[in-house]
Amino acid sequence: MTAWTWTGLAVLGALVGAFGTLVGAGGGFILTPVLLVLYPQDTPQTVTAISLVAVFFNAASGSAAYARLRRIDYRSGVVFALATLPGAVAGALVVQYAARRVFDPIMGALLLCLAALAIRGPRHLHSGAGTGGVCRVITDRSGTTYRYRVPVLRGALLSVGVGFASSFLGIGGGVIHVPLLVSVLGFPAHVATATSHFVLANMAGVASITHTLAGSFAHGDGVRRAVALSAGVVVGAQLGARISSRASGALIQRLLAAALALLAVRLLV
* SS3 state at 150: strand
Q: Where does the pLDDT of residue 256 fall: very low under 50, low under 70, confident under 90, or very high at 90 and above?
A: confident
Residue type, 39: Y
List Cβ neighbours of 82 (8 Å cut-off, separation of 6 or more).
156, 202
pLDDT of res. 150:
92
Closest CA to 201 of 53, 44, 34, 13: 53
| C-alpha span between 67 and 61 (Å, rounded) | 10
| C-alpha span between 242 and 237 (Å, rounded) | 9
Q: Which residue has the higher pLDDT, 228 or 109?
A: 228
Residue type, 257: A
Examine the pLDDT at 7 and tell me if it is beyond 70.
Answer: yes
| C-alpha span between 186 and 237 (Å, rounded) | 25
Neighbours of 153 (CB within 10 A): 12
Average pLDDT over residues 235-239: 85
Residue 49, CA distances (Å) to 97, 125, 129, 214, 268 in order = 14, 39, 43, 10, 22
Average pLDDT over residues 176-199: 88
Find residue 136's DSSP bridge partners: 148
Q: What is the DSSP string of 82-147?
A: HHHHHHHHHHHHHTTT--HHHHHHHHHHHHHHHHHHHHH--SS-SSS--SSSEEEEEE-TTS-EEE
Report, in angstroms and rounded to the nearest whole number, the Rg of the chain calculated over CA atoms: 17
| C-alpha span between 151 and 173 (Å, rounded) | 19
Using one digit for the tens of pLDDT, what is the confidence trace for 206-231? Answer: 888 888 888 877 666 878 888 899 99
| C-alpha span between 201 and 62 (Å, rounded) | 9
Closest CA to 187 of 75, 83, 108: 75
Contact assessment for residue 199 and residue 77, using Cβ atoms and an 8 Å cutoff: yes
Closest CA to 267 of 103, 114, 146, 151: 103
Using one digit for the tens of pLDDT, what is the confidence trace for 129-139? Answer: 344 689 999 99
* CA distance between the termini of the chain: 31
Average pLDDT over residues 109-118: 76
pTM of the model: 0.74
Show the CA angle centred on residue 253, arms to residues 183 and 95, nearest 5°.
75
Find residue 146's DSSP bridge partners: 138
Neighbours of 1 (CB within 10 A): 11
| C-alpha span between 65 and 169 (Å, rounded) | 26
pLDDT of res. 132:
67
Per-domain residue ranges of the chain: 3-268
Examine the pLDDT at 112 and tell me if it is beyond 90.
Answer: no
